[in-house]
């Protein structure tokens, strides 16, 4: 069926277009951008007052499938993604068993083929995520892998990480690093500082993130390779990455909305839904992360969507780290950066659509004729309260619960089909 979105503000960071127009699609492809002439038999969406981005991509999610599907699975995870405006995601490999072979990559692709959006499995750097032996990258690439990571754990052996980076120059795989020295963080559950001291719980020292960030940059420099730093949360890490970029190091990085929105003060509630890894930090860190998003040091916004069951999150000190975020990411970013006048829509579209695709190496999409009709259509002024029970994820551990956000996805369109509609 032909689809026409009328009078929508199309914001496209690939072409630099920002204009109110009509978008016509048929057969999964955008056929025209401009005044629509033939409406016979078409589905018409009134886009008046709405904004269309090229479909969002989250390059860092955890769908817990296989092995922990009581928390989430590929079907429910993509339902959450679609409700958040995402037409593509990269799912991390710390499943049970970890995604370190062709069979598990095929499992992800097969199950995801029924969801209506693109799901790209990220495979392990080391077999079983054990930091002892590199995976067979050539076979993983043949299976359809674009990126590798041991996310959830660091690659503890620096020489293995260096070798993976060196090989990435040949195989083209993006190397995504979880920057944590577990010898430093062992026993900690929240940021090490005033709040951890006041609560009498173990702290996660920022030196852990800063040290491995510096290590990865040094390793990448040694072999002239690309490296991507996951979930940046500290001022120190931001400064190290900014300096490395100025020196021409091929480093990119990401952060999540909670790191530029909240601080460790949230943990005074002793609510494990505010615990994630890396943790919420100080106001100085929050401000540094926000500034790095605005000045381009941070390349993309991700969610690190990490579902856990209500039972698992019940005990503040024993709960696993992680929060869900797919359904709040765009709204939180609009609320914190756009509606405060700090960031325009073009930059947000780049941070959440164009840049992550470029980093991973999948095709970048655009709002122009001949492109796949993958669109995120939202009302930037729609105000709503985050009610965990209304989220599409199996798990409800949202760090934004109870918050009022401004901006809401009304339609997610993938391959010309409306896969989510509010």
The confidence band for 151, taking pLDDT boundaries of 50, 70 and 90, is very high
Please check whether residues 11 and 121 belong to one and the same domain.
no
Please check whether residues 272 and 343 belong to one and the same domain.
yes
Cis peptide before 66 (omega within 30 of 0): yes
Q: Token pair of 271, please? A: 């609510």
Q: Token pair of 400, please? A: 């934004």
Which residues are CB-contacts of 258 (< 8 A; sequence separation ≥ 6)? 276, 280, 323, 325, 332, 399, 400
Which residues are CB-contacts of 342 (< 8 A; sequence separation ≥ 6)? 290, 294, 336
Please check whether residues 377 and 331 belong to one and the same domain.
no
Question: Residue 141's pLDDT is what?
Answer: 98
Residue 47 within a domain: yes
As a whole number of Å, the CA-based R_g of the chain is 21
Please check whether residues 314 and 232 belong to one and the same domain.
yes
Residue 399 within a domain: no
Give the position of tokens 């689809």. Answer: 3
Tell me the torsion sign for CA atoms 245, 250, 256, 262.
negative
Please check whether residues 385 and 246 belong to one and the same domain.
no
Tens of pLDDT, residue by residue over 214-228, are 999 999 999 999 999
Each residue of 234-252: b (16+ CB within 10 Å) or e?
Answer: bbbbbebbbebbeeebbbb
- Read off the CATH number of the domain in which 129 is found: 3.20.20.140
Q: Does 260 have pLDDT greater than 80?
A: yes
What contacts 24+ positions apart, CB below 8 Å, involve 171-174?
171/137, 171/138, 171/141, 172/141, 172/361, 173/137, 173/140, 173/141, 173/145, 173/146, 173/147, 173/148, 173/361, 174/146, 174/147, 174/148, 174/226, 174/228, 174/359, 174/360, 174/361
Tens of pLDDT, residue by residue over 92-108, are 999 999 999 999 999 99
Residue 365 within a domain: no
The confidence band for 123, taking pLDDT boundaries of 50, 70 and 90, is very high
Let me know: does 125 contact 147? Beta carbons within 8 Å: no
Per the residue annotation, which of 73, 118, 285, 304 is the catalytic one?
A: 304
Question: Residue 138's pLDDT is what?
Answer: 97
Please check whether residues 197 and 235 belong to one and the same domain.
yes
Please check whether residues 314 and 374 belong to one and the same domain.
no
Tens of pLDDT, residue by residue over 323-371, are 999 999 999 999 999 999 999 999 999 999 999 999 999 999 999 999 9
Which residues are CB-contacts of 181 (< 8 A; sequence separation ≥ 6)? 154, 207, 208, 211, 212
Q: Token pair of 355, please? A: 């840049």
Which residues are CB-contacts of 287 (< 8 A; sequence separation ≥ 6)? none
What is the value of pTM for the model shown?
0.97
Please check whether residues 263 and 379 belong to one and the same domain.
no
* Cα 361 to Cα 144: distance, rounded to the nearest angstrom: 12
Please check whether residues 380 and 328 belong to one and the same domain.
no
Number of domains in the chain: 2
Whether 304 is catalytic is yes
- Read off the CATH number of the domain in which 411 is found: 2.30.40.10
The confidence band for 176, taking pLDDT boundaries of 50, 70 and 90, is very high
Please check whether residues 45 and 62 belong to one and the same domain.
no
Residue 248 within a domain: yes
Percent of the chain exceeding pLDDT 70 equals: 100
Let me know: does 393 contact 62? Beta carbons within 8 Å: no
Please check whether residues 354 and 376 belong to one and the same domain.
no
Q: Does 39 have pLDDT greater than 90?
A: no
* Cα 275 to Cα 291: distance, rounded to the nearest angstrom: 23
Which whole-number Å values give the CA distances from 166 to 121, 170, 175, 250, 354, in the listed order?
21, 8, 10, 13, 26
Please check whether residues 40 and 138 belong to one and the same domain.
no
Give the mean model confidence (pLDDT) for residues 39-50: 93
Residue 167 within a domain: yes
* Cα 376 to Cα 360: distance, rounded to the nearest angstrom: 20
Q: Does 37 have pLDDT greater than 90?
A: no
What is the helix, strand, coil percentage profile of the chain, to 5?
Answer: 35, 25, 40
> Which class for 118: exposed (0-12), middle (13-18), buried (19 or more C-beta within 10 A)?
buried
Residue 237 within a domain: yes
Q: What phi and psi values does residue 72 have, to the nearest 5 degrees?
A: -170, 160
* Cα 299 to Cα 104: distance, rounded to the nearest angstrom: 29
Give the mean model confidence (pLDDT) for residues 116-123: 98
The confidence band for 38, taking pLDDT boundaries of 50, 70 and 90, is confident
Let me know: does 377 contact 51? Beta carbons within 8 Å: yes
Q: Does 288 have pLDDT greater than 80?
A: yes
Domain of 416? 3-51+370-394+404-421
* Cα 67 to Cα 93: distance, rounded to the nearest angstrom: 11
């Amino acid at each position: 069926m032909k689809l026409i979105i009328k009078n929508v503000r199309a914001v496209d960071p690939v072409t630099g277009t920002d204009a109110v127009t009509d978008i016509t699609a048929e057969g999964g492809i955008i056929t025209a951008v401009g005044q629509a002439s033939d409406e016979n038999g078409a589905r018409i969406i009134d886009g008046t007052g709405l904004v269309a981005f090229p479909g969002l991509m989250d390059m860092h999610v955890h769908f817990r499938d296989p092995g922990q599907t009581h928390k989430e699975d590929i079907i429910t995870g993509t339902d959450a993604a679609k409700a958040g405006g995402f037409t593509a995601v990269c799912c991390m490999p710390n499943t049970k068993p970890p995604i370190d072979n062709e069979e598990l990559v095929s499992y992800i692709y097969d199950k995801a083929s029924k969801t209506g959006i693109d799901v790209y499995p990220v495979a392990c750097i080391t077999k079983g995520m054990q930091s002892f032996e590199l995976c067979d990258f050539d076979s993983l690439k043949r299976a359809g892998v674009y990126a590798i990571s041991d996310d959830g754990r660091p690659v503890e052996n620096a020489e293995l990480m260096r070798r993976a980076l060196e090989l990435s120059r040949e195989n083209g795989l993006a190397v995504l690093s979880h920057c944590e020295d577990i010898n430093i963080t062992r026993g900690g559950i929240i940021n090490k500082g005033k709040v951890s001291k006041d609560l009498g719980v173990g702290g996660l020292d920022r030196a852990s993130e800063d040290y491995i960030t510096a290590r990865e940059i040094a390793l990448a420099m040694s072999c002239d390779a690309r490296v991507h730093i996951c979930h940046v949360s500290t001022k120190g890490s931001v400064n190290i990455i900014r300096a490395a970029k100025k020196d021409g190091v091929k480093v990119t990085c990401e952060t999540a909305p909670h790191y530029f929105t909240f601080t460790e003060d949230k943990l005074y509630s002793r609510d494990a839904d505010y615990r994630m890894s890396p943790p919420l930090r100080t106001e100085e860190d929050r401000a540094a992360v926000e500034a790095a998003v605005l000045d381009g040091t941070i390349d993309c916004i991700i969610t690190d969507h990490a579902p856990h069951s209500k039972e698992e999150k019940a005990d503040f000190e024993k709960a696993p780290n992680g929060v869900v975020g797919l359904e709040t990411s765009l709204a939180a970013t609009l609320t914190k950066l756009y509606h405060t006048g700090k960031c325009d829509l073009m930059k947000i579209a780049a941070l959440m659509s164009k840049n992550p695709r470029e980093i991973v190496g999948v095709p970048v999409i655009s709002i122009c004729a001949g492109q796949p009709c993958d669109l995120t259509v939202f009302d930037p002024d729609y105000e709503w309260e985050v009610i965990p029970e209304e989220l599409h994820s199996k798990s409800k551990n949202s760090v934004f619960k109870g918050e009022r956000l401004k901006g809401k996805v009304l339609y997610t369109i993938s391959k010309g089909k409306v896969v989510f509609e509010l």
